[in-house]
């Protein structure tokens, strides 16, 4: 039998490392394809990682509490299977390390560079040194912290581990627990000198900052916007609710449908840019990102093949996805692979925003709050429901004519949604 080494896969959202929370197997165990072998914690959430191989566990490459880099050995399994060969073919084809249970991506093949495996973390412990079979004594008085990153984050924030409340069933203090405690009003500042509070940029804030900085530094972006009469849009949503046997269709789902109908006319914006290859990757299907603010920070979960979903299904998938994002239960594959992002910042009570593009996508459409405003209708001043739409786009994929044409088309659909919705159900 040959030994197959499964590397810690790409966990999405620019994450480069994860902490091992709990091994679900030990050396000598038999594993099957897609069996969960380990629970890891990233900056975004706890994730159960399935194994793409079947066979006998030969080696675990890190102890519980170890921080592992993406692309380093995670587990070695003796044996092989046709699924393993498929995994290798997909990896060599450019999909990178994948979680078989989460799929390998979508759309046309892209020229992604494979990550080079980095050396094993120096504090990784070989399985022989792990007492994986021994029962773990309950920890009643001492807080359970497995990750050194979590300890450091709590220490830098001036937190007492005994005072941090945990969420979930494993009772482990996670990074999300610490960051929730830091965000609480009673949290102690890191340092205060001369009336100035210094707060370390760590965890979620650092991850978001790095991703947004990369977007701003790499993408030559431009923003355009337009005010729109959304009165007919709100009426159309009410009419849809009545026609779908009482099933509630979210306004976000209706706006997403209008957006994707416009994208079909302006496919240049449904793209990503591969800067290394010097290529624009234009997609037939829309894998729609939805910007969502959560307790863990800004996330952009993706609705894959959203353009193929009927309105009712799309509404259900949007509701499910946003709820999973808020609770931190999204699998990594649901946070990657977007081709266009919709940002409903109107929920924050604001009218407009020059949003930052979700790298490596090429555009993001923003929607402001819908409020009563004076509006001229057929030459007569009236009170209408008005909103502002904004489009931030990558000037490498198109010029202002395409961007303006797309935004005007979305605006026309908002003012007369029957044009786009048609028989959508």
Chain segment 307-323, per-residue pLDDT in tens = 999 999 999 999 999 88
Look at residue 9 and tell me whether its pLDDT is greater than 80: yes
All domains in the chain, ordered by first residue: 3-129 (2.40.50.100), 148-198 (4.10.320), 212-421 (3.30.559.10)
What is the pLDDT of the chain when averaged over all its residues? 79
Instruction: Dump pLDDT digits (tens) for 294-303.
Output: 777 788 899 9
Res 190: pLDDT? 66
Q: Is 287 a catalytic residue?
A: no
Assess contact for 100 and 87: CB atoms under 8 A: yes
Confidence of residue 14 (pLDDT cuts 50, 70, 90): low
Confidence of residue 240 (pLDDT cuts 50, 70, 90): confident
The secondary structure of residue 91, as a DSSP letter, is I
* Mean pLDDT, range 74-85, rounded to an integer: 70
Q: Dihedral sign for Cα 75, 76, 80, 86, please.
A: positive
Out of 145-149, 207-211, 241-245, 274-278, least confident range? 145-149
Instruction: Calculate the alpha carbon distances from 408 to 219, 224, 391, 416 in Å.
Output: 23, 10, 10, 12
Q: Where are the beta strands (DSSP E) in 238-369?
A: 271-274, 279-282, 288-290, 292-294, 297-299, 302-303, 340-343, 363-367
Res 251: pLDDT? 93
Residues 52 and 6: their CA atoms lie apart, in Å, by: 8
* 3-state SS assignment for residue 55: strand
Q: Percent of the chain beyond pLDDT 70? A: 73
The secondary structure of residue 101, as a DSSP letter, is G
Long-range (24+ apart) CB contacts under 8 A made by 301-304 are: 301/325, 301/330, 301/334, 301/335, 302/334, 302/335, 302/336, 302/337, 302/338, 303/256, 304/106, 304/337
Is the pTM value of this prediction over 0.85?
Answer: no
Annotated catalytic residue within 106, 170, 305, 395 = 395
Look at residue 365 and tell me whether its pLDDT is greater than 80: yes
Res 17: pLDDT? 83
- Of 210, 254, 248, 250, nearest to 232 by C-alpha is 254
Confidence of residue 187 (pLDDT cuts 50, 70, 90): very low
Look at residue 356 and tell me whether its pLDDT is greater than 90: yes
Confidence of residue 137 (pLDDT cuts 50, 70, 90): very low
């Amino acid at each position: 039998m040959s030994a197959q080494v499964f590397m810690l896969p790409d966990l999405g959202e620019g994450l480069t490392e994860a902490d091992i929370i709990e091994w679900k197997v030990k050396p000598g165990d038999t594993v099957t394809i897609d069996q969960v072998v380990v629970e890891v914690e990233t900056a975004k959430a706890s994730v159960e990682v399935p194994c793409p191989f079947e066979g006998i566990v030969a080696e675990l490459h890190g102890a519980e509490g170890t921080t592992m880099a993406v692309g380093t050995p995670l587990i070695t399994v003796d044996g092989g299977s046709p699924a393993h060969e498929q995994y290798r073919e997909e990896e060599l084809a450019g999909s990178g390390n994948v979680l078989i249970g989460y799929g390998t991506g979508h759309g046309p093949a892209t020229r992604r560079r494979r990550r080079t495996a980095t050396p094993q973390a120096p504090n990784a412990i070989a399985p022989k040194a792990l007492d994986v079979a021994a029962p773990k004594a309950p920890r009643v008085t001492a807080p359970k912290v497995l990750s050194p990153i979590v300890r450091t984050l709590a220490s830098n924030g001036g937190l007492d581990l005994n005072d941090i409340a945990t969420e979930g069933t494993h009772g482990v203090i996670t990074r999300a627990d610490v960051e929730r405690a830091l965000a609480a009003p009673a949290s102690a500042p890191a340092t205060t000198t001369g009336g100035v509070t210094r707060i370390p940029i760590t965890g979620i804030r650092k991850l978001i900052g790095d991703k947004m900085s990369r977007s701003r530094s790499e993408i030559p972006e431009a923003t355009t916007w337009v005010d729109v009469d959304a009165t007919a849009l709100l009426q159309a949503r009410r009419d849809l609710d009545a026609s779908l046997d009482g099933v509630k269709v979210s306004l976000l789902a209706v706006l997403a449908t209008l957006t994707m109908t416009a994208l079909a006319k302006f496919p240049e914006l449904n793209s990503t840019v591969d800067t290394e290859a010097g290529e624009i990757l234009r997609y037939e299907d829309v894998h729609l990102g939805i910007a969502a603010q959560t307790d863990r920070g800004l996330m952009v979960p993706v609705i894959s093949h959203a353009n193929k979903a009927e309105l009712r299904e799309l509404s259900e998938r949007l509701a499910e996805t946003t709820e999973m994002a808020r609770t931190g239960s999204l699998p990594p594959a649901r946070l990657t692979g977007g081709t266009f992002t919709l940002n409903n910042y109107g929920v924050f009570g604001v009218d407009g925003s020059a949003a930052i593009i979700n790298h490596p996508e090429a555009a993001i459409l923003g929607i402001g709050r819908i409020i009563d405003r004076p509006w001229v209708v057929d030459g007569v001043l009236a009170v209408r429901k008005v909103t502002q739409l904004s489009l931030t786009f990558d000037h490498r994929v198109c010029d202002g004519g395409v961007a303006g044409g797309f935004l005007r088309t979305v605006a026309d659909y908002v003012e007369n949604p029957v044009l786009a919705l048609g028989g959508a159900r």
